[in-house]
Chain A
Amino acid sequence: MNVLQVAGVKLAGVRFALPKREVDNRETCQLLFGDKAESILKTSGILKRRVADKGETSLGLSCQAAEELLGTLAVDKTTIGGVVAVSFTPELAMPGNAQLAQARLGLGNDVAAIDLNHACAGYPYGLYVAASLVRDLQKPVLLLDGDVQTPYATMNTAAILGDAGSATLLVPDHDSGAWEFAFYTDGSRAGELKLDGKLVMDGFGVFRFVAIDVVKLIAGFMQGRKADLFVPHQANVYMARELARKLDLADRLAIIGDKYGNLASASVAVGLAEAMAGGFGGKALLAGFGGGLSAGVALIDV
Chain B
Amino acid sequence: MNTRESEFLSFVSGLLGRELNSLDLRQGDVSEWDSVMHLRLVLELEEKYAIHIPIDQVPKIASLRDFFELTGGKA
- Contact status A207-B58, CB under 8 Å: yes
Give CA–CA (A24, B43) in the complex, Å. Answer: 22
Bound form: Cα–Cα A39–B35 in Å = 11
- How many contacts A-B (CB < 8 Å)? 50
User: A185 an interface residue at 8 Å Cβ cutoff?
Assistant: no
Q: Are A245 and B55 in contact (CB under 8 A)?
A: yes
10 A-B pairs closest in CB distance: A203-B35, A242-B55, A43-B39, A208-B59, A39-B40, A211-B55, A204-B35, A246-B55, A211-B56, A211-B59
Among A43, A212, A245, the residue within 8 A (CB) of B43 is: A43
Q: Does A287 count as interface, using CB distance less than 8 angstroms?
A: no
Q: How many residues of A contact B (CB 8 A)?
A: 22
Given A35-B17, A42-B40, A43-B43: A215 in contact with B35 (beta carbons within 8 A): no
Chain A residues with CB below 8 A from B17, complex form: 35
Nearest residue, chain B, Cβ from A39: B40
Closest Cβ–Cβ distance, residue B72 to chain A (whole Å): 20
- B43–A42 contact, CB under 8 A? yes
Cβ-defined contact, A203 with B56, below 8 A: no
Which chain B residues lie closer than 8 Å to A203 at the CB level? 34-36, 38
Is A178 close to B, CB under 8 A?
no
Contacts of A40 in B (CB 8 A): 36
Q: Mark A155-168, 1 if CB is under 8 A from B, else 0.
A: 01000000000000
**Of all chain B residues, which has the CB nearest A238?**
B39
C-alpha spacing A164/B35, complex, angstroms: 26
As a 0/1 sequence over residues 195 to 222 of chain A, the CB contacts with chain B under 8 angstroms (1 = contact) are 0000000111001101110010000000
Say whether B38 contacts A204, CB under 8 Å. Answer: yes
Q: How far is the CA of A187 from the CA of B41 in the complex (A)?
A: 30
Is A144 on the interface with B (CB-CB < 8 A)? no
Q: What is the total number of residues of chain B having a CB less than 8 Å from a CB of chain A?
A: 14
Label chain B's interface by main secondary structure. Answer: helix
Q: How far is the CA of A200 from the CA of B8 in the complex (A)?
A: 34
Chain B residues with CB below 8 A from A246, complex form: 54-56
Given contacts A42-B40, A42-B43, A207-B59, 17 further A-B contacts (CB under 8 A): A35-B17, A39-B40, A40-B36, A156-B35, A203-B35, A203-B36, A204-B38, A210-B55, A211-B55, A238-B39, A238-B43, A242-B54, A242-B55, A243-B55, A245-B54, A245-B55, A246-B56
Which residue of chain B lies nearest to A203 when distances are taken between CB atoms in the complex?
Answer: B35
Q: How far is the CB of B42 from chain A (nearest CB, A)?
A: 8
Q: Which residue of A lies closest to B27 (CB)?
A: A204
Q: Report chain A residues within 8 Å CB of B43.
A: 42-43, 238
Q: Which residues from A are CB-within-8-Å of B40?
A: 39, 42-43
Instruction: Render A231-260 as a binary contact track against B, CB cut-off 8 A, 1 for contact.
Output: 000000011001101100000000000000
CB of B30 within 8 Å of the partner chain: no
> How far, in angstroms, from A243 to B55 measured CA to CA in the complex?
7
B55: which A residues are within 8 A, CB to CB?
210-211, 215, 239, 242-243, 245-246
A contact residues around B39 at 8 Å (CB):
43, 207, 238
